[in-house]
């Protein structure tokens, strides 16, 4: 079923070009943005811990949000983008040969089956209309695990249309319509690829737009700490970071 917020036939194939832009990076500037990225990195590295020094492919990873944390943890990182424009923000890491970058179609990744130990896709799934095909490609080139993030219907994101979306856009400025997923459809899509979920960790109980509006990382950390202590983040948190591994 198509999310009502996706008002066109589907996004352009360059769904990752926007997230690789300086304009998008500004959404994660300041103390609140840095905290968002720190939470995302901490969860992701914990999910990758079973595979130290693994070969990691970051699909649509031109935003660079996880590049430095992955390198510091000892992973070998390749970033994929649909255009060479997606490499602009990778800067010295790419010029110095600390990471690799390759452009190619999003739904036909330019690598053979099982080319990487782990494949990541962040800030991407909600903006790709044929997302099951994308998930299939991620699983195809992953030998050990796939890790993705997505907004879930279990959270306040289920109300992300209408007035709430306009309020979110008022805070963030460059918010795009996005798909909100049920947990069941993610389960079924992974199962169709012969992958099963082995870990699931929500990031925040309160909407990220609210944290941006508050503008106080310390206050946001306190609020999220209380919500986590009450068990609300586990039940209602979003975005969710999910790890899946091949059956058997």
DSSP lists the bridge partners of residue 202 as 240
Decide if 62 contacts 93 (C-beta within 8 A).
no
Among residues of the chain, what percentage have pLDDT more than 90?
77
Q: Residue 181 falls within a domain, yes or no?
A: yes
> H or E segment at 70?
helix 67-72
* pLDDT of amino acid 15: 82
Q: Residue 10 falls within a domain, yes or no?
A: no
Strand order in the sheet with 142-150: 100-103, 76-81, 55-59, 116-121, 142-150, 238-246, 195-204
Confidence of residue 159 (pLDDT cuts 50, 70, 90): low
CB under 8 Å to 208, separation ≥6 — which residues?
A: 36
* pLDDT of amino acid 178: 78
Q: Residue 144 falls within a domain, yes or no?
A: yes
pTM greater than the 0.85 cutoff:
yes
Q: Residue 4 falls within a domain, yes or no?
A: no
Instruction: List, for residues 162-188, the tens digit of each pLDDT value.
Output: 444 444 444 445 556 678 999 999 999
Does residue 113 surpass a pLDDT of 60? yes
Q: Residue 238 falls within a domain, yes or no?
A: yes
Q: Residue 199 falls within a domain, yes or no?
A: yes
* pLDDT of amino acid 148: 98
Residue 198, domain CATH = 3.40.50.150
Domain count, the chain: 1
Q: Residue 177 falls within a domain, yes or no?
A: yes
* pLDDT of amino acid 205: 94
Decide if 118 contacts 147 (C-beta within 8 A).
yes
Q: 14-28, 37-51, 96-110: which has the minimum mean pLDDT?
A: 14-28
Count CA within 13 A, CB hemisphere, residue 106.
28
* pLDDT of amino acid 248: 75
Helix 217-229 crosses helix 30-48 at what angle (to 10 degrees)? 40
Confidence of residue 11 (pLDDT cuts 50, 70, 90): very low
Decide if 34 contacts 28 (C-beta within 8 A).
yes
Provide the domain limits for residue 92. 15-246
Segment 103-115 shows an average pLDDT of 96
Q: Residue 7 falls within a domain, yes or no?
A: no
Q: 7-16, 91-100, 113-122: which has the minimum mean pLDDT?
A: 7-16
* pLDDT of amino acid 176: 60
* pLDDT of amino acid 163: 46
């Amino acid at each position: 079923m198509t999310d009502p917020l996706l008002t066109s036939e589907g996004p352009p194939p360059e769904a990752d070009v926007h997230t690789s832009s300086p304009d998008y990076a500004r959404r994660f500037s300041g103390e609140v943005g840095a905290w968002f990225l720190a939470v995302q990195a901490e969860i992701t590295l914990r999910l990758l811990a079973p595979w130290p020094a693994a070969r990691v492919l970051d699909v649509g990873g031109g935003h660079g949000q996880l590049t430095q944390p992955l390198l510091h943890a000892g992973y070998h990182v390749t970033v994929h983008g649909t255009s060479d424009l997606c490499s602009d923000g990778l800067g010295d890491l790419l010029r110095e040969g600390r990471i690799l970058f390759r452009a190619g179609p999003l739904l036909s990744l330019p690598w053979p089956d099982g080319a990487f130990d782990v494949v990541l896709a962040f800030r991407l799934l909600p903006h790709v209309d044929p997302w099951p095909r994308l998930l299939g490609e991620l699983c195809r080139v992953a030998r050990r695990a796939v890790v993705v993030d997505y907004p879930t219907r279990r959270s306040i994101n289920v109300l992300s249309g209408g007035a709430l979306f306009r309020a979110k856009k008022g805070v963030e400025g460059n918010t795009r319509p996005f798909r909100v997923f049920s947990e069941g459809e993610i389960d079924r899509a992974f199962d169709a690829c012969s992958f099963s979920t082995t870990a699931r960790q929500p990031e925040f109980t309160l909407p990220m737009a609210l944290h941006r509006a508050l503008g106080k990382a310390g206050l946001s950390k306190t609020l999220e700490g209380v919500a986590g202590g009450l068990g609300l983040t586990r039940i209602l948190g979003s975005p969710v970071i999910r790890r899946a591994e091949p059956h058997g």
